[in-house]
Amino acid sequence: MVIERTYRTSIVHQGYLEPRAAVAQVDALGSVTVWTTTQALFYTRSEVAEALGLPEHQVRIVATPLGGGFGGKFVLLEPLAAALAIALRRPVSLVLSRTEEFLTTTPAPASVFELKTGIAKDGRLTALQARVIFDAGAYAGAPLGIACLMLGGCYRLPHMDIRGYEVLTHKTGNGAYRAPGAVQAAFALESQMDLMARALGMDPLDLRLLNASAEGDLMANGNKWPRIGLRPCLERLKEERARRKASAGSNPRLKRGVGVAIGGWMGGIEPANAVCRLERDGTLSIIVGTVDMSGTNTAFAQIASEAFGLPTGLIRVVNADTEAAPYAGSSGGSKITYTVGAAVEKAARDARQQLFAIAARHLEAAVEDLELVDRAIQVRGAPAKAVPIAELAKASMQFAGKYEPVYGRGSTATIARSPAFAAHLAEVEVDLETGHVRVLDQVVVQDVGRAINPAAIEGQIQGAAAQGLGWALLERMPYDAHGQLLSATFMDYAMPASETVAAVRAVLVEVPSELGPFGAKGVGEPPVVGAPAAIANAVMDATGHRFTELPITSEAVRRAVSRGAR
């Protein structure tokens, strides 16, 4: 059996609450300082220095607390603000209005996916042919490679031909938005999987389990998948679905449907450093060059606590600026806990080793005979022979001190990714009279590697599900025939509100990474990828109509239902 369909997605803005803003000033020696809402501290410094022709040591970037980013806040205003400050020799502040945000920043690009899939009678996929097109706007750089890779990698496909194109147009340039390229690919692929399941009369989860990729299977680029949790997520979602109670509405014009989908993310990689400094009072300071926009500082404190042996309440994480911070990559791509977290673990272990060496000299005991208990180092089996950590720290930070200060260092240059997957189930209610779609229930089962902070991970999943609802039903940036943007304010650009987002149940599956700290993987991107597709499949289940374009607006539903009634 061969099924052929074309799928489209719209331009979607990241929709962060705080607009882009930058303040720059220049000192008497010509050095520039920029305070900015950026996700990428060191990348921003490099771009500003290159744009102005300055050496990097003359550019200082201070990342201010971020009012949302989701991949959209890398470099934009910073070189301009710095150039103006140099030209005027006085501080300059640049802040975008909301309309300027829509007209000049870098949203997720529109896409077209032309898919042709072959499937055998037993449900095994035989072939995939795809033509993928992204509207990159005024500048090249659409997430084409990611989209094509995920399109051809989630399922075992003995034959595939995937070709990607990006088209330049007179629209705003494109950028990253939480799992760039993967969301669009999942909508097309998972809608196609649902069509094939219906055509064969198969359970949609069984079809996915039959074909799901596993460790050792080939990806679209010819590489083999490492250890991944796709199948465990699908199996767990099947269990969760079986436990759900079927619900039915009493109003005949309200139809309910259930849809499933999967989505994954390869995971980001980038070298990183971290520093662990023991303070005079026996507390720890972890110094990193990251921007904490998703709770990564809490994870760093937990990692350091486990590696060093102190409670998290005695550990402080410092997000320093480019003058003082050790190098770290941009906060994005689901890589900060995976890469910088691993550097933090190494730094904490290095600091602990230094502390134990000092304690061994102080207590005249072998390092291997010591243990850390209640903020003190003691000889194992002889608790009376102990010394508080603070006492050792003070002895290393005083006039004529005989110990070197404890200053742990950790570095990573991980080149292997740890991909993560999530499986979604969505239940919707469709009003056949108005076309309004309401999401009633969402279940997201995600492989998180090792849940260092389960509460924070659940928050990431819930937020991603809300953004997926926006992709599926509401958000788009349309242009008219004259090139005028029709949704240049929040009055016109529809986003999920609190009353439109259903309760999201997050189920965590742990398939530990071999390289992440304590087995952790990146968790930010995977939960958004399959959300729009699951909602679209649920709308199909409720209405009997396959929607091949996002967002699925009330107008589109009403029009499709009316055609079906005739």
What does the alpha-carbon distance between residue 520 and residue 331 come to, in Å, rounded to a whole number? Answer: 16
- Please, are residues 485 and 548 in contact by the beta-carbon 8 Å criterion? no
Query: What is the per-residue burial (b if ≥16 Cβ within 10 Å, else e) of 63-86?
Result: beebeebbbbbbbbbbbebbbbbb
Spell out the residues 6+ positions from residue 39 whose beta carbon is closer than 8 angstroms to its own: 66, 69, 71, 73, 74, 291, 293, 330, 331, 332
Element of type H or E holding 564: helix 554-565
Distances (CA, A) of 216 to 148, 153, 212, 540: 19, 12, 12, 34
Classify 181 as helix, strand or coil: coil
From the list 18, 514, 525, 555, the catalytic residue is 525
- Nearest residue to 64 via CA among 88, 95, 87: 95
Tokens encoding 293: 């926009």
What is the CA 458 to chain-centroid distance, rounded?
A: 13
DSSP class per residue in 34-95: EEE--S-HHHHHHHHHHHHT--GGGEEEEEPPPS--TT--SSSSHHHHHHHHHHHTS-EEEE
Q: Give catalytic status of residue 47 as yes or no.
A: no
Spell out the residues 6+ positions from residue 413 whose beta carbon is closer than 8 angstroms to its own: 271
What does the alpha-carbon distance between residue 565 and residue 83 come to, in Å, rounded to a whole number? Answer: 61
Q: What is the largest CA-CA distance in the chain?
A: 92
What does the alpha-carbon distance between residue 395 and residue 355 come to, in Å, rounded to a whole number? Answer: 11
What does the alpha-carbon distance between residue 144 and residue 324 come to, in Å, rounded to a whole number? Answer: 36
- Please, are residues 460 and 524 in contact by the beta-carbon 8 Å criterion? yes
- Please, are residues 259 and 534 in contact by the beta-carbon 8 Å criterion? yes
What does the alpha-carbon distance between residue 115 and residue 151 come to, in Å, rounded to a whole number? Answer: 10
- Nearest residue to 508 via CA among 439, 421, 440: 421
What does the alpha-carbon distance between residue 189 and residue 211 come to, in Å, rounded to a whole number? Answer: 13
- Phi, psi angles (nearest 5°) of residue 24: -130, 145
**Which residue is listed with tokens 């040591």?**
57
- Phi, psi angles (nearest 5°) of residue 101: -55, -45
Active site residues per annotation: 525
